[in-house]
Amino acid sequence: MSESGDLQDWRSDLIRSIGLGVAYYVAAQLSLRLALVGENITPLWPPTGIALVGFLLRGRRLWPGVAIAAFAVNLPISATPVAAAVTAVGNTLAPLAAATLLLRVGFRPQLDRLRDALAIVFLAALGSTLISATIGATTLVVSGAIRQEQFPGAWSVWWAGDAMGILVVAPFLLTLTTIREHPLPRGWKILEAIALLGVLVGISFLSVVTDLPILFVVFPVLGWAAWRFQQPGAAPAALLVSLFATWAAVEGRGLFGGRSLADEMFTLQMFNAAVAFTSFFFAAVVSERLRSRQALEEAAGELEERVRERTTDLSTANERLAEAQALARLGSWEWDVGSGAVYWSLEMYRIHGLRHDDGPITFESAIELAVHDDQVRIQANVARALEERQEVIPDIEYRIVRPDGSTRTLYGKARAIRSTDGSVKRMVGTVQDLTERRELEREQRIAETLQQALLPERLPQLVGISLAARYVPAEEGSAAGGDWYDVIELPDGGVALVIGDVAGHGTEAASVMGQVRMAVRAFSLEGHAPGVVVGRVHDLLRSLYEGEQMVTMFYLVVDPTTWEATMVNAGHPPPLLLDPGGGATYLESPTGLPVGLNWSLPYEESIAVLRPGAALVLFTDGLIDRRDVQVDEGLERLREAAKDNVEMDIDRLCGMLLDALVPADASDDVAILAARLDPVQERLSLHIPADPARLRSVRRNIGRWLSGHGVPKSDAEDIILASSEACANSIEHAYGPGQGAVDIEAEVAGGEVTIVVRDAGRWRSSRNGDRGRGLPLMEACMDTCTLTRGDAGTEVKMQRRVPRSPSA
Amino acid sequence: MSDLASFAVVKADEIVVGSLSGEIDLSNAKELESQIENAVPNTALGMVLDLSELTYLDSSGIRLLLSLAGRLRWRGQDLVLATPPESRCRRVLSLAGIERSVMLETTVDAARARLKDPSA
């Protein structure tokens, strides 16, 4: 492949070499007719120009064609074949050297740069041709063709001929090869070209056929050609004029008439040189000017395009900024302290309830919008910044009154910009409208406070049932809801556990929750059955809110004697039962509709028997509801989280479940109430603050404990009365209001119940006759009753024998 | 007002019939006393207090009833308590020996009759 490729290259090189040689030979024969010295020195030697162009465009390897053609030209006119060969070597070397030098300096055949014109004149035309002139003239002398004293003349004519051959012919040929790169003249320009040619030929022809010395008139015409058509016009014109001038010189016409050969020769060379310089330089300079003008225009166009793009970008950015300001409710301003000019962004006007065309804003008019106290604060900040030349101005939250009378809460940030002398020349800043955010926060704070206030302050201390609870408000941004829980000690010794969720959020839901919670308590304490309690709550809510307020709740009463749980479900998730032996299961019961809506059906009770040690976890849907999780899946997740921790301390259990199931950014609030049924203890120990309100709890606890031990009801009631009396005595007599504590200890042993009540206060005798009835009552209720008073306090010890109840 | 006990006027003609329910102890006795006394106008013959719904009563409750009886008597009015036999309240009242100072009947009707004719 590569061999055949090389072969092809070689062949095409051979053909080109022959072509170049033929062209060289033909041109040489034509120009020899113009020989001025002997038969082989002519004033214009185009073959050198042809050889140079051939080497430049097709490569210097075509030299053999030129060498052979030169030999062929010189052989008939030289004294010996050797002389012809030596002359041919000089004729070949000259264009080769010229091509080498031009390629080295980065010559462009378009000739449209000044440096290309300089290069072809000095390096090629005047420089390289020294070689051929010197070799040729020396050969003439050595071979005896001319005499030795003729050498300078012969040398100079030879040199000038070769130089002119390059100067006149090379640009013309180069222009022809690059003609496609130039746009063809059109319209009037064609006429102009024809006119140009006509004038040029006319003048030249006149100067040849007449004796009028008018050849110099061609110069303005050459300038015309170069200016209007650049190299494609100048090169042919120069060639044309040079040919005519040479013809005129040979004929001895015009400028050249009546002179010696040397004068004639000198004049012709000078004329041709002037023609070449004029056309090439002028054309090259014009091209260069045109090109730089084009480059400038392109640059200007590009610049314009970029300015347009930047302008578009800027206006897009401005629109986006305005949109961002509107979204963030954030306005920006600038105040030129010196001139007093104030700039406000559009959003600033909107925030202040003003219109953009309401007239110019001044520092004073802007500040007047703030409420009085805030005006003072803002002015103080600004004054301090101006006086103390501070750049940093403290942020400020302040309120304004809009022209329509509404109040807005704003947050201002500002910065001073100092001039070179340190004084404050401008202030810039932003103002954000926080009104909605602050209102939302306030609303949320109130709702949360209300919610917390409405939940039990603390859970009751119950004997036989441990309790734990958690309430977690929803994450900031979403308002607190109406979740609640409650534990109610019932008159008959049972304990009611309640959990519920008022539909809706915020203060309204929280206040409804408060009402529902109190209603549940009240109906429970009246001693109604669970189904009745929930039914009455439903009726009450329905009448209060006309069926518009929905509440889900789960109500469960534990009987501490039988461990029976009686429950009613009003549209609420079922509680989780943690059985020490049986893992974690949901307490299944018929689910009724939520309370409060417009319908009327009885609430169905169901009963489950629990085992001592079991725990119940009641919760609201915040614990199981996740946006990405179905309800069943949520229930299963809770069961999974609890099932391996059935015996965990219930307070820890509540915390663990919250951590495991509720994300930090929960959107709903969560309530959990957990209760564990403790096995009956032999000894009972209670510690209560000296507060009459706690007596009820003492009675309930002792009651549950006694019934857990199977003490019959009538005996239990007497023991409860005596215990409560003893505590009341301690609270009433031992302490002033709100101080101290009372300890109660109870024990069942050998068919006898022992109750000990202690306080740390001093026994004060009763102040009127009706008092002091407690002790006789205690004595009447118990078998023995001993009162011990000491410095450390008072102790009442009471005992009563009890029969075993049939069930125990 | 504590949710422990409540007082309600059932009927008010020449005799005021009131009902106490819930539990009376040190925490709520004083408050209840003034509430009950205020329910009896000066023009009334006296008061019948129904204790059948009362589930617990301690010495504070006894003091309340004795004090109430004394104040009404000072105004020339009588107090009759209605409490079923064998009830928890009845036992406490007996233990405290209250029969000596305050009239006791088993039903509201008997109490009303007693009030109209104290000698009967």
* pLDDT tens sequence across A684-699: 888 888 888 889 889 9
- Alpha-carbon gap, residue A241 to A273, rounded angstroms: 11
Tell me if chain A has a CB within 8 Å of the CB of B71.
no
- Alpha-carbon gap, residue A188 to A300, rounded angstroms: 29
Which residues, other chains included, contact A52 with Cβ-Cβ below 8 Å and sequence gap of 6+?
A95, A98, A99, A124, A166, A170
Q: What is the pLDDT of residue B2?
A: 56
Structure tokens given for A750? 């050998």
- Alpha-carbon gap, residue A78 to A86, rounded angstroms: 10
Beta bridge partners of A579: A583
Q: Which residue of B has its CA nearest to A523?
A: B3
Percent of the residues in chain B that have a pLDDT greater than 90, as a whole number: 57
Contacts of A724 in chain B (CB under 8 A): 25, 58
Determine phi and psi for A212, rounding to 5 degrees.
-65, 125
Q: What is the pLDDT of residue A764?
A: 58
Q: What is the pLDDT of residue A693?
A: 87
B26 vs A696: CB contact, 8 Å cut-off? no
- Alpha-carbon gap, residue A692 to A728, rounded angstroms: 7
Q: Are the C-beta atoms of residues A475 and A666 closer than 8 Å to each other?
A: yes
User: Distance (Å) from the C-alpha of residue A527 to the closest C-alpha of chain B?
Assistant: 9
- Alpha-carbon gap, residue B120 to B113, rounded angstroms: 9
Q: Are the C-beta atoms of residues A772 and A766 closer than 8 Å to each other?
A: yes
DSSP label of A710: T
User: What burial letters (b/e) apply to A229-242, b meaning 16+ CB within 10 Å?
Assistant: bbbbbbbbbbbbbb
Q: Let me know if A118 is exposed, middle or buried by CB neighbors in 10 A (0-12, 13-18, 19+).
A: middle
Amino acid, single-letter form, for residue A150: Q
Q: What is the pLDDT of residue A341?
A: 87
Q: What are the Cα distances from residue A487, in Å, to A74, A176, A521, A524, A678?
A: 133, 111, 9, 10, 16
Average pLDDT of the residues in A720-741: 83
Inform me whether the pLDDT recorded for B1 exceeds 50. Answer: no
Q: What are the Cα distances from residue A372, in Å, to A120, A368, A369?
A: 89, 8, 9
Tell me if chain A has a CB within 8 Å of the CB of B3.
yes
Q: Name the band, by pLDDT with cuts 50, 70 and 90, for residue A754.
A: very high
B27 vs A527: CB contact, 8 Å cut-off? no
Q: What is the pLDDT of residue A723?
A: 95
Contacts of B2 in chain A (CB under 8 A): 693
Average pLDDT of the residues in A565-590: 90
Tell me if chain B has a CB within 8 Å of the CB of A582.
no
Q: What is the pLDDT of residue A2?
A: 45
Closest alpha carbon to A333 in A426, A407, A461, A448: A426
Alpha helices in A595-712 (DSSP H): 631-643, 650-661, 695-708
User: Distance (Å) from the C-alpha of residue A477 to the closest C-alpha of chain B?
Assistant: 37
* pLDDT tens sequence across A460-470: 888 788 899 98
A69 vs A479: which has the higher pLDDT? A69
Q: Are the C-beta atoms of residues B21 and B53 closer than 8 Å to each other?
A: yes
Q: Name the band, by pLDDT with cuts 50, 70 and 90, for residue A533.
A: very high
Q: What is the pLDDT of residue A478?
A: 54
Q: What is the pLDDT of residue A5?
A: 56
Instruction: State whether residue A165 is helix, strand or coil.
Output: helix
Structure tokens given for A630? 């179905």
Q: Which residue of A has its CA nearest to B93?
A: A777
Tell me if chain B has a CB within 8 Å of the CB of A693.
yes
- Set out the domains of chain B in order of their start, with CATH numbers: 5-116 (3.30.750.24)
Contacts of A491 in chain B (CB under 8 A): 22-23, 55-56
Q: Name the band, by pLDDT with cuts 50, 70 and 90, for residue A757.
A: very high
Mean pLDDT of all residues belonging to chain A: 84
- Alpha-carbon gap, residue B65 to B71, rounded angstroms: 10
Chain B, residues 30-49, CB within 8 A of chain A, namely none
Q: Name the band, by pLDDT with cuts 50, 70 and 90, for residue A656.
A: very high
Q: What is the pLDDT of residue A112?
A: 78
- Alpha-carbon gap, residue A645 to A643, rounded angstroms: 6
Least confident of A405-409, A504-508, A729-733, A800-804: A504-508
Instruction: State whether residue A464 is helix, strand or coil.
Output: coil
A774 vs B55: CB contact, 8 Å cut-off? no
Complex-level ipTM: 0.92
- Set out the domains of chain A in order of their start, with CATH numbers: 12-181 (1.10.1760.20), 183-324 (no CATH), 329-433 (3.30.450.20), 456-677 (3.60.40.10), 683-801 (3.30.565.10)
Q: What is the pLDDT of residue A762?
A: 65
Inform me whether the pLDDT recorded for A3 exceeds 50. Answer: no
Sheet strand arrangement including A392-401: A342-344, A330-336, A424-433, A407-418, A392-401
B105 vs A626: which has the higher pLDDT? B105
Strands A495-505, A481-489: pairing is: antiparallel
Return the residue in B59, B89, B90 with the most chain A beta carbons within 10 A, the one to mutate for interface testing: B59
Determine phi and psi for A473, rounding to 5 degrees.
-65, 155
Q: Tokens 């091509």 map to which residue?
A: A99
Which residues, other chains included, contact A222 with Cβ-Cβ below 8 Å and sequence gap of 6+?
A200, A234, A237, A238, A241, A275, A278, A279, A282
Nearest to A725 among B27, B59, B88 (CB): B59
User: Distance (Å) from the C-alpha of residue A632 to the closest C-alpha of chain B?
Assistant: 39
Query: A650: how many CB neighbours lie within 10 A of its CB?
Result: 22
A725 vs B63: CB contact, 8 Å cut-off? no
User: Distance (Å) from the C-alpha of residue B25 to the closest C-alpha of chain A?
Assistant: 8
Contacts of B65 in chain A (CB under 8 A): none
Q: Tokens 């803002």 map to which residue?
A: A378
Determine phi and psi for A610, rounding to 5 degrees.
-100, 165
Cα–Cα–Cα angle for B79, B85, B89, rounded to 5 degrees: 65
Query: A57: how many CB neighbours lie within 10 A of its CB?
Result: 16
Q: Which residue of B has its CA nearest to A770?
A: B63
Contacts of A725 in chain B (CB under 8 A): 58-59
* pLDDT tens sequence across A12-61: 888 888 888 998 898 888 887 766 555 555 777 888 889 998 888 888 88
Contacts of A732 in chain B (CB under 8 A): 26
Average pLDDT of the residues in A193-199: 88
* pLDDT tens sequence across A338-389: 888 888 888 889 899 888 887 778 888 888 889 888 999 988 888 888 888 8
Q: Are the C-beta atoms of residues A44 and A34 closer than 8 Å to each other?
A: yes
Q: What is the DSSP string of A235-271?
A: HHHHHHHHHHHHHHHHHT-GGGTT--HHHHHHHHHHH
Q: Are the C-beta atoms of residues B33 and B47 closer than 8 Å to each other?
A: no
Least confident of A96-100, A627-631, A708-712, B44-48: A627-631
B63 vs A527: CB contact, 8 Å cut-off? no
Q: What is the pLDDT of residue A477?
A: 53
Q: Which residue of B has its CA nearest to A727?
A: B26
Q: Name the band, by pLDDT with cuts 50, 70 and 90, for residue A574.
A: very high
Q: Are the C-beta atoms of residues B41 and B73 closer than 8 Å to each other?
A: no
Instruction: State whether residue A754 is helix, strand or coil.
Output: strand
Determine phi and psi for A133, rounding to 5 degrees.
-65, -45
Q: What is the pLDDT of residue A773?
A: 76
Which H or E run contains A222? helix A218-251
This prediction's pTM: 0.47
Q: What are the Cα distances from residue A368, in Å, to A345, A349, A401, A748?
A: 18, 14, 9, 80
Structure tokens given for B45? 């013959």
Chain A, residues 626-645, CB within 8 A of chain B, namely none
Q: Are the C-beta atoms of residues A617 and A653 closer than 8 Å to each other?
A: yes
Nearest to B59 among A699, A717, A773 (CB): A773
Inform me whether the pLDDT recorded for A595 exceeds 90. Answer: yes
Inform me whether the pLDDT recorded for B88 exceeds 80. Answer: yes
Q: Are the C-beta atoms of residues A497 and A576 closer than 8 Å to each other?
A: no
- Alpha-carbon gap, residue A808 to A710, rounded angstroms: 5
> How many CB contacts within 8 angstroms connect chain A with chain B?
62
Structure tokens given for A448? 């949360």
- Alpha-carbon gap, residue A70 to A73, rounded angstroms: 5
Q: Name the band, by pLDDT with cuts 50, 70 and 90, for residue A1.
A: very low
Cα–Cα–Cα angle for B56, B62, B63, rounded to 5 degrees: 135
A121 vs A539: which has the higher pLDDT? A539
Instruction: State whether residue A756 is helix, strand or coil.
Output: strand
Query: A652: how many CB neighbours lie within 10 A of its CB?
Result: 11
Q: Name the band, by pLDDT with cuts 50, 70 and 90, for residue A672.
A: very high
Percent of the residues in chain A that have a pLDDT greater than 70, as a whole number: 93
Q: What are the Cα distances from residue A343, in Å, to A430, A707, A719?
A: 12, 82, 85
Inform me whether the pLDDT recorded for A284 exceeds 70. Answer: yes
Alpha helices in A662-762 (DSSP H): 695-708, 713-729
- Alpha-carbon gap, residue A454 to A803, rounded angstroms: 44
Inform me whether the pLDDT recorded for B67 exceeds 80. Answer: yes
Q: Let me know if A48 is exposed, middle or buried by CB neighbors in 10 A (0-12, 13-18, 19+).
A: buried
Tell me if chain A has a CB within 8 Å of the CB of B21.
yes
Q: Name the band, by pLDDT with cuts 50, 70 and 90, for residue A160.
A: confident
Query: A615: how many CB neighbours lie within 10 A of its CB?
Result: 28
- In A289-391 the beta strands, taken as DSSP E runs, fall at 330-336, 342-344
B3 vs A774: CB contact, 8 Å cut-off? no
Closest alpha carbon to A121 in A98, A97, A90: A98
Tell me if chain B has a CB within 8 Å of the CB of A773.
yes
Structure tokens given for A489? 């000690």
Helices A46-58 and A63-74: crossing angle, nearest 10°? 170
Q: What is the pLDDT of residue A770?
A: 45
A212 vs B40: which has the higher pLDDT? B40
Amino acid, single-letter form, for residue A21: G
Which H or E run contains B20? strand B15-24
B27 vs A696: CB contact, 8 Å cut-off? yes
A695 vs B21: CB contact, 8 Å cut-off? no
Q: Tokens 């000095």 map to which residue?
A: A122
- Alpha-carbon gap, residue A735 to A566, rounded angstroms: 41
- Alpha-carbon gap, residue A682 to A705, rounded angstroms: 9
Q: Tokens 């209250």 map to which residue?
A: B98
- Alpha-carbon gap, residue A694 to A702, rounded angstroms: 13
